[in-house]
Structure 1
Amino acid sequence: MTMPDAEPVDWQARANAAARSVTELFGQRLLFLPGTHLAAVQWPSKHLKNLFRPWHYWWQAHYVDCLVDAGRRELGNGATPAARFNGPRHPSAGKLASRLVTGIRLRNANTLVNNYYDDMAWLALATHRLQRLAEETRKPGRRRNARVHKTLTLQFDSASTDDLGGGTFWSKKRDFKNTPATAPVALYYARTGQQAKAQRLVDWLNAVLFDEARGLYIDGARLNAAGEVVVENAIYTYNQGPVLGALLELGGDANLARAAALVDAVANQLTVPGQRILRCDGTGDGGLFTGILCRYLALAAVDARLPESARNAAKELVTATAEAFWAGRRPTGRGATSAAAGYVLFSIHAAQPADTTYPPGAAVELSTQLQAWMVLEAAAAIQQKPQTN
């Protein structure tokens, strides 16, 4: 007897479930101000207490990016109220993302400039995608977005100097240049028509922070008291993501060859032993890392300029990790308020169930939930998008 084919996974529906859960459990107005949105850094959490918790600018930037992902799916489904991830009675993902950018600015002392260039680079990338979404949905352009890009581009120009031979400083201390800042700034330059600047940054990464033996990009470099360049050899999963994105955005034979090799190195070295599931890096900032990597692996998975083996590897890494996160989810469960019922929580680690990493009663960090949402959006993007040339 022939067994019927399994029903195809609906990654859009799964991504919508993650989007609803994050926005409803963590999302709120800033100080109850209309036209604003911001995410609490943990759940459950009292509204006013969130103002006294540590401020995580770059977590909010990735929240913007996740909402843009949802908005692009809404656009693909007709951009009607019925297509909205949270139903027709709620704002579109794009509108919520715009409110979030307003909330970030107000919470950040009425400015989008802060002390860390990598933080600002992530927001610049997210708002650039938000602007493109607005254009494609034929919504009027926001002057705010143009001001954001002008302000942040000036920041990146000032941080991308010839010190240490090139690269972008990590912070306003200007004593350390690293992949976390240089890679997203390079990607931002590449996406905004500044290819020469982007290529110079990528060339510096290749010359200074690429580990030939492992095929991956290490953390950063600084000058010691003797004036010698000293590198930090730690390898972080998320750093490989924006490098991959910049290589793909710039294109050309050399960059694309490096992109294919980078996918292969990620598959061989950054997975859970014996599985094709990407490793995760705990809570705090590390709670975002695997989601960021998957965002850019999804681009590689549908890029026809790459060899089929690289595309297939990228797709397998994303979908296996997404499947693991989905399989390990748990409902909000006992102890949740009636308003929080019906939503899901995701594990800190894709290879472990949420019941283990976030048992009932545990405080759940925003970063880890954004990570799972990003991974599910990456899987949905691969499922929706044909290969591109």
Structure 2
Amino acid sequence: MFREWAAEAERAIVTRHLRRVWLLPGTILGRSGWPPTPGQRVHWHWNYWWQAHLLDCLLDAQLRDPTPARQATIDRFLSSVRLRNFGKWTNDYYDDMAWLGLAMQRAGRDVSVILDELRGAWTPEGGGGIWWRKGDRFKNAPSNGPAAILHARAGETSRARELLSWMESTLVDPDTGLVWDGLRVDDGELVKAIYTYCQGVFLGTALELSELDSAARTVRAVAEHCAPDGILRGQGGGDGGLFAGILARYLALAAQRLPAPESDVARDLVLDSARACRENATEALGGPLFPSEWSKPAPDETSRDLSVQVGAWLLLEAAATLSSHTNGGA
């Protein structure tokens, strides 16, 4: 069931969103909206970090059901990212670069350029950690989390642990166990907004470094505070459309790596959210159109965003990895 739903999501998003860049043969990227605006037709607003997660979904699908055609799409997609980014892999946002680095690394590509950027983003100000973007004075979980995971997977565990330690000491709410957004370094202000995104990247970092107590605490906090009726809470369209999907990816890993009872909690959060997401989808060109709030029916005003659709695809691929451990899986 979950594998079938992941395949449906892939077909729908490929059908509605994947198009050539500037009509050039051999290129392909995801249009940022459907139906597309004139600007989206030519990838004017192409949302670099959304593309990184779309690439991750294509890689998930290739693991789930390998095909030569999809591998060719992945190769075209990677070259198209660099083309649309005017010949570079990098931009001004360290979280964006970390996400693309993680997807590229999974695809077997060299990520040394991105790792160099992330290494240069660390400073001792604010107790450590890396900046959110170049020229800014904000350090946050969305940049430090994926950067730490990438460093860890590249064998740079000391830097990864440094970033996790900074998040643990600076951004974890001692009362709830939730991870706050970030720190404004100049005045020391903590931005205590709660995003599913931040919980996901912290959880992923803790799992990557085998800090299982921190990971288990985060799973418990998510279940208590971020999942009404057991369904992961959405955070709108735009960038927020990806937040719960990112969390679902790392909850699925937690379900496989943590002992009970947190492994069971993580599994239930992913699978129950996947069921709600699919049940509340509506049929559109190519297949299901997913809502940004998985517990409510689509379409909503954000359903046209690529981020919302990719966030749902992330969730369904995560559920598919757990399907062999459930009665409803295929």
Distance 1:165 1:12, change over 3 A: same
Match of 2:312 among 372, 375, 378: 372
Match of 1:54 among 41, 45, 51: 45
Quick check: 2:49–2:96 contact (8 Å CA) kept in 1?
yes
Which residue does the alignment assign to 1:344? 288
Match of 2:235 among 281, 284, 288: 281
CA displacement at 1:106 relative to structure 2? 1.1
Distance in 2 of aligned mates of 1:48 and 1:307 = 48
Distance in 1 of aligned mates of 2:114 and 2:40 = 30
Q: What SS does the aligned partner of 1:281 have?
A: coil
Q: How many residues align?
A: 326
Which residue does the alignment assign to 2:297? 353
Which amino acid counterpart does residue 226 of structure 2 have in structure 1?
A: L
CA displacement at 1:29 relative to structure 2? 1.1
Q: What SS does the aligned partner of 1:234 have?
A: strand
Quick check: 1:11–1:380 contact (8 Å CA) kept in 2?
yes
Deviation string, structure 1 residues 305-326 (Cα, Å, up to 9, x no partner): x221100000000001100010
Q: Please, what is the CA RMSD of the aligned residues?
A: 1.8
Distance in 2 of aligned mates of 1:58 and 1:51 = 17
Which amino acid counterpart does residue 181 of structure 1 have in structure 2?
A: S
Larger-gyration structure (1/2): 1
Pairing 1:191–2:135 present: no
Distance 1:346 1:230, change over 3 A: same
Q: What SS does the aligned partner of 2:194 have?
A: coil
Quick check: 2:60–2:317 contact (8 Å CA) kept in 1?
yes
CA displacement at 1:240 relative to structure 2? 1.1
Which residue does the alignment assign to 2:225? 269
Which residue does the alignment assign to 2:202? 243
Which residue does the alignment assign to 1:135? none
* Greater relative contact order (CA < 8 Å, ≥ 6 in sequence): 2
Which residue does the alignment assign to 1:84? none
Q: What SS does the aligned partner of 1:324 have?
A: helix
Deviation string, structure 1 residues 151-201 (Cα, Å, up to 9, x no partner): 101000000221211101000014111111001100111111111110011
Match of 1:118 among 77, 92, 95: 95
Deviation string, structure 1 residues 50-89 (Cα, Å, up to 9, x no partner): 3364231100010001111101112xxxx456xxxxxxxx
Quick check: 1:187–1:243 contact (8 Å CA) kept in 2?
no
Aligned pairs for 1:4-15 (under 5 A) are: 10-15=1-6
CA displacement at 1:363 relative to structure 2? 6.8
Aligned pairs for 1:270-309 (under 5 A) are: 270-272=226-228, 275-303=229-257, 306-309=258-261
Deviation string, structure 1 residues 109-146 (Cα, Å, up to 9, x no partner): 22111110000000001111121xxxxxxxxxxxxx22
Which amino acid counterpart does residue 244 of structure 2 have in structure 1?
A: T
Distance in 1 of aligned mates of 2:67 and 2:57 = 19
Quick check: 1:182–1:201 contact (8 Å CA) kept in 2?
yes
Which amino acid counterpart does residue 91 of structure 2 have in structure 1?
A: N
Which residue does the alignment assign to 2:177? 215
CA displacement at 1:246 relative to structure 2? 1.3
Percent identity between the two aligned chains: 40
Distance in 2 of aligned mates of 1:354 and 1:363 = 7
Match of 2:78 among 94, 101, 104: 101
Distance in 2 of aligned mates of 1:51 and 1:221 = 37
Distance 1:383 1:18, change over 3 A: same
Quick check: 2:125–2:185 contact (8 Å CA) kept in 1?
no
TM-score by length of 2: 0.94
TM-score by length of 1: 0.80
Quick check: 1:277–1:321 contact (8 Å CA) kept in 2?
yes
Which residue does the alignment assign to 1:230? 189
Which amino acid counterpart does residue 206 of structure 1 have in structure 2?
A: E
Distance in 1 of aligned mates of 2:288 and 2:202 = 32
Distance in 1 of aligned mates of 2:8 and 2:43 = 29
Distance in 2 of aligned mates of 1:178 and 1:288 = 17
Which residue does the alignment assign to 2:265? 313
Q: What SS does the aligned partner of 1:173 have?
A: coil
